[in-house]
Amino acid sequence: MLWFDTPELIPKNESEELKELIHSLQPNCIVNSRIGNGFGDYNVLEQSINNKINLQPWESCVTISKGWGYNKYDSSWKSPDLLVRQLIETVSAGGNYLLNVSPTGEGEILTQARERLAAIGKWMNINGDAIYNTKPWKTASEDITPENTKDTLVKANTHATKNTMADVMNDNTSKKIFPEVRFTAKNDTVFVFAADIKENKIALHTFGKNNFKTIHEIKLLGSSKVVNWTQNEDALIIDTSKPLTKDIHISVFRIL
């Protein structure tokens, strides 16, 4: 793969010539949209996340802190919880999540980055099956926000915010943490990501018998505990479980 940061403003014939050169050297190489003029194999969103399903190849490239390059004054580190939420939001909508980590001039990965990557890795060791080799389900998410709080949370219901900086140097994605349910699918399995759920139960109307097949089994990834649930005509009610990782408050259920 070649990931161009430029030269997307070159003429069409130069984009085509560049793509032909790449494929003459490596026929299987893919390139991002910044080769320009529609010759890229996938689209790139910078410092923003598309939370609506798009089945065309795309990725969100996002920084782990404020900027792309190392800055000793940068203290705007995203929490592991937020980073995994952004990953889930991207994958549930059909995209790839490209996380930028900046080494120092000596090539060192800072402790803040290492700690966050380790926390993500621990969560992925338990829940990676719901991320890798999955595809978007019929819907990316279900709104579980109570009616009486929707007005105050309406601006928080997306991590994508308009970036007003012309060069898109700094991170402008939302840092809001709110209760959320998102979905991915693999073969006959649907995965439910229950993020920061405060209640003991969640009702998912997407999985009511009026909208979904009869459910035979629900498991919590990484746990042998029995999951208590009921499915009626209108909704699936799941007894939520405490997340299995301390830093990331996201449980994943496998529905068959």
pLDDT tens digits, one per residue of 188-197:
999 999 999 9
Which residue reads 């080769």 in tokens? 35
Q: Are 86 and 75 in contact (CB under 8 A)?
A: no
15: enclosing H helix or E strand? helix 12-25
Mean pLDDT to the nearest integer, 216-221:
96
Quickly state the pLDDT bin for 166 (edges 50, 70, 90): very low
For the chain, the straight-line distance linking the first and the last C-alpha, in angstroms and rounded, comes to 36
Mean pLDDT to the nearest integer, 77-97:
96
| pLDDT score of 167 more than 80 | no
Closest alpha carbon to 67 in 160, 164, 172: 172
- The reported pLDDT for the residue numbered 111 is 96
- The reported pLDDT for the residue numbered 151 is 40
Mean pLDDT to the nearest integer, 175-181:
89
Closest alpha carbon to 195 in 79, 85, 78: 85
Is 8 or 198 the better-scoring residue by pLDDT?
A: 198
- The single-letter DSSP state of residue 189 is E
Quickly state the pLDDT bin for 202 (edges 50, 70, 90): very high
- The reported pLDDT for the residue numbered 50 is 85
Quickly state the pLDDT bin for 161 (edges 50, 70, 90): very low
- The reported pLDDT for the residue numbered 17 is 97
Digit-coded pLDDT (tens) for 118-158: 999 999 999 999 999 999 999 999 998 654 434 433 333 44
Average pLDDT, the chain: 89
- The reported pLDDT for the residue numbered 8 is 77
CB proximity list for 94: less than 8 A, separation 6 or greater:
53, 54, 55, 56, 58, 135, 136
CATH number for 42-255 (one of 2.60.120.10, 3.40.50.720, 2.170.150.70, 2.60.40.1180): it is 2.60.40.1180
| Amino acid in position 87 | L
Digit-coded pLDDT (tens) for 27-68: 999 999 999 999 999 999 999 988 899 999 999 999 999 889
